[in-house]
Chain A
Amino acid sequence: MKQSRTAEADQLVEFYRRMVLIRKFELSADQMYKRAKVGGYCHLNLGEEASVVGLMDALRPTDYLFTNYRDHGYALMRGMDTGKVMAELFGKSTGVSKGRGGSMHLFDTEKRMLGGYGIVGGQIPPATGAALALTYRGAPGPDAEAVMCQMGDGTTNIGAFHESLNLAAVWSLPIVYVVINNRLGMGTTVEMAAGEPELYKRGASYRIPGVRADGGDVLAVRQAATEALDQARTERRPALLELMSYRLRGHSVVDPARYRSAADVETAQKADPVPALRAQLIADGTLTEKQAAAIETKVDGEVAAAVAFADAGPDPTPDQLFDYAYATPVPNAPTALPGERMVVLP
């Protein structure tokens, strides 16, 4: 069977592995939060794995990515180290930002991951600015760089979304705005919050073409994202891509999601893309049950190693407290804890 597998089937198996990695990483993050290893707030990609994997496969290493606070899966798919990402969630000095960013602010400039952003909509104007910067260098063409800016459905109601789309349109910027429509902005439905609940149409007033795709279908997501990015590269025109998806859990790990009906939860679980792809690969003979289990066991090992790495890392120390408050020396900036020196008298 292995010999007869097509390149396309191999690709799907790899996509399945990536989706399983995100799923298991997020389930582990949830556990670690509940064991108080992760503090603050923690937002999971559970249910959105096909969207994350499809988008990140379409995005090239030379492209730039901005996301919201639900950023773990994107960081992993961008090639950031699983252990270092987990360590960042733990707030450890071995994390991708030495514990300064935490779950919501995963950065890696080398991987051109320009951040998760904790403020809803905060990422949109900077992403638009990054696309503007691209127009100052290089020319449009099939090899040109582009920016992808991911956000949730609720964010499309924020002023910054509309201001940014307008700028991208009038300045003709190479940017793809991706809306992960999981149908809930925390506990408020899209229909309650959006005057035009078919969010892909919201680009119309800026003459930005909008496309809606099935966020649970990894190949459909990749196809739609590739087309939008190609348009951004070659024509230097913005695009709006809406991916219909489901969030399997609450807004963050502390949200019991009491606003959801039992029927809604059941619909979300039925649409879960990870078991769906698994069943499809087994049904069409691409994978045996044993092969699927082997992939999952291997990922279990990777996630367990990431947790062990995060756990073993040291906390940031108090002498790092003042680092990077300013990029240049500032007279009134603190450089050390007050300690004994505070009680020295004139």
Chain B
Amino acid sequence: MSTMTIAKAINEGLRATLRNDPKSFLMGEDIGSLGGVYRVTEGLKAEFGAHRVMDTPLAESGIIGTAIGMALRGHRPICEIQFDGFVFPAFNQITTQLAKIHTRSDGQLSAPVVIRIPYGGGIGSIEHHSESPEALFAHTPGLRIITPSNANDAYWMIQQAVECKDPVIFFEPKRRYWLKGEVDTENAPGDPFKAHVVREGTDATLVVYGPLVPVALAAANAAAEDGHSVEVIDLRSISPIDFDALETSVNKTGRLVVAHEAPTFGGIGGEIASRISERCFYSLEAPAIRVGGFHMPYPVARVEEHYLPDIDRMLEALDRAFAY
């Protein structure tokens, strides 16, 4: 067991992958000599060399496109996209090639590319440095999408992403990069595509992932002071979604609130609400309620706190659920 930040845990996870799998390699803009904007790849070029940790030109489409070609030839590329909003030049390659090559070749080929993307707001920046585009990729069959919320998951899930034979988009909660936690480097926490109950409760289920997990835990603590027992679930995998875990929890609690930073309109929360409404109809005491960003471009820094779901917004949603 050792204590490390999420950024350091990903760094150590990548180091372990580079050691264990000689076919794995990193590529991205300024990830080598600079160590990345958030220093997540710091020291890796010095340790493994420029052919394992490649600085690329500014060309997101080219990075993902060449990674696909490498994966088709048996390599395990791990690409860094510098910020969430910078992935869009590569969207074409991801949605039209990466997600579909396995199907198109009738299973003869696969493209196990991992794409690391720091995502989410709360860092005082603007649109395209603060976005949460996970639903756009979740809507693309053929991709898997996971996101850690703590250092232990960060350390293990990045390694599990590389081991997966499908392409995986690995969203990193950038405003939590400096959040410290215990990492057990001996025992993996199991399937990265399963949700974790991070706080048990009996009255309502609060589903979150990535940067909002600490917010949800704080909201659950506040609700406990009002006599409400809230169960908090860290989704961990956005595609596929662990609906079984959600169903088990909601059948117990009878209430569901889903929160994410991305706009609620067309978001992951709507998908969860719909599925749970079908699967838990006779257990539900209240309609599923979503909390999230507004349907608008990510706002300016000085007012972003009004945009991001906070404890109050989660408590308000829980109150609404309890009012039925």
Given A119-B85, A322-B296, decide whether A99 and B302 contact each other with a Cβ distance below 8 A: yes
Nearest Cβ on chain B to A104's Cβ, whole angstroms: 7
Chain B hits for A1, CB < 8 A: none
| Contact among A39, A315, A318, A342 for B316, CB-based, below 8 A | A342
CB-based nearest A residue for B305:
A318
Binds B, one of A188-196, A203-211, A279-287, A295-303: A188-196
Asked if A343 is at the interface (CB within 8 A of a chain B CB), the reply is: yes
B265 on interface, CB distance cutoff 8 Å: yes
Contact in complex: A120, B303 (CB < 8 Å): no
Which of A19-27, A55-63, A152-160, A224-232 has 4 or more CB atoms under 8 Å from chain B? A152-160
Instruction: Tell me the complex Cα distance, A342–B314, Å.
Output: 12
| Residues 143-192 of B at the A interface (beta carbon under 8 Å) | none
Q: Nearest B residue to A317 by beta-carbon distance?
A: B303
Q: Are A332 and B126 in contact (CB under 8 A)?
A: no
Interface residues on B, range: 35 or more
Closest chain B residue to A190, Cβ basis = B57
Closest to A193 in B: B57
Task: Specify the chain B residue showing the minimal Cβ separation from A95.
Answer: B300
**Are the C-beta atoms of A159 and B301 separated by less than 8 Å?**
no
Binary per-residue interface labels of chain B (291-324) against chain A in the complex, 1 for a CB within 8 Å, 0 otherwise: 0001111011111001100000100110110011
Question: For chain A residues 57-89, which have a beta carbon within 8 Å of chain B?
Answer: none
- Residue B138 interfacial (CB < 8 Å): no
A160 touches B89 (CB 8 A): yes
Please report the C-alpha to C-alpha distance between residue A99 and residue B303 in the assembled complex, in whole angstroms: 10
Cross-chain contact of A259 among B29, B34, B86, B323 (Cβ < 8 A): B34
Contact status B61-A159, CB under 8 Å: yes
Contact A343/B323 with A100-B300, A119-B128, A321-B299 known, Cβ cut-off 8 Å: yes
Chain B: which residue is nearest A93 at the CB level? B302
Closest approach, in angstroms, between the C-beta of B138 and any C-beta of chain A? 20
CB distance from A39 to the nearest CB of B (A): 4
Task: Please give, as numbers and ranges, the residues of chain A lying within 8 Å of B34 by CB-CB distance.
Answer: 186-187, 255, 258-259
Q: B162: shortest Cβ distance to chain A, in Å?
A: 24
Q: Which residue of B lies closest to A335 (CB)?
A: B294
- Whether A188 pairs with B295 at a CB distance below 8 angstroms is no
Min C-beta distance of A89 to chain B, whole Å: 11
Known contacts A193-B57, A334-B296; A320/B124 CB under 8 A: no
In the complex, which residues of chain A have a beta carbon less than 8 angstroms from the beta carbon of B89? Answer: 119, 121, 158-160
Q: Compute how far the CA of A186 lies from the CA of B86 in the bound complex, rounded to whole angstroms.
A: 15
With known contacts A39-B124, A119-B85, A187-B33, A91–B295 Cβ distance under 8 A: no
- Residues of B near A7 (CB, < 8 A) are none
When chains A and B are docked, how far (Å) is the Cα of A185 from the Cα of B55? 11
With A154-B57, A157-B58 known to touch, is A316 a contact of B296 (CB < 8 Å)?
Answer: no
Rounded to whole Å, the gap between the CB of A345 and the closest CB of chain B is: 6
CB of B97 within 8 Å of the partner chain: no
Chain A residues with Cβ below 8 Å from B294 are 321-322, 325, 334
Asked if A333 is an interface residue, CB under 8 A from chain B, the answer is yes
- Inter-chain contact B295/A334, CB cutoff 8 Å: yes
Residues of chain B with a CB closer than 8 A to A105's CB: 126
Give the chain A neighbours of B61 by CB distance below 8 A.
Answer: 159
Interface membership of B30, Cβ < 8 A = yes
B62 at the interface (CB under 8 A from A): yes
With A and B bound together, what is the CA distance between A183 and B302 in angstroms? 34
Contact A342 B295 (CB under 8 A): no
Which residues of the partner chain A approach B324 to less than 8 Å between Cβ atoms?
A: 345
Residue pair A316, B303 in contact (C-beta under 8 Å): yes
| CB-defined contacts of B85 to chain A, threshold 8 Å | 118-119
Question: Is B306 a contact partner of A321 (Cβ separation < 8 A)?
Answer: yes
By beta carbon, the residue of chain A nearest B266 is A332
Instruction: For residue A25, give the distance in angstroms from its CB to the closest CB of chain B.
Output: 20
**Given A188-B30, A321-B307; A343-B58 close (CB under 8 Å):** no
**Closest partner residue, chain A, to B323 (CB atom):** A345
Given the complex, which residues of B lie within 8 Å of A322, measured CB to CB?
294, 296
Residue of B nearest to A41 (CB): B125
Residues of B contacting A104 with CB < 8 Å?
126
Q: Within the assembled complex, what's the spacing in Å between the Cα atoms of A318 and B126?
A: 16
Instruction: Decide: A259 near B300, CB < 8 A? Known: A159-B59, A185-B57.
Output: no
A102 at the interface (CB under 8 A from B): yes
A294 within 8 A of B: no
* Smallest Cβ-Cβ distance to A119: which chain B residue: B128
Is there contact, CB below 8 Å, between A91 and B57?
Answer: no
Starting from the known contacts A40-B124, A325-B295, 11 additional A-B residue pairs (CB-CB under 8 Å) come to A39-B125, A39-B301, A40-B123, A119-B85, A120-B58, A121-B58, A157-B62, A158-B57, A188-B30, A317-B303, A318-B306
Chain B residues near A (Cβ < 8 Å): 29-30, 33-34, 55-59, 61-62, 85-86, 88-89, 123-126, 128-129, 265, 294-297, 299-303, 306-307, 313, 316-317, 319-320, 323-324
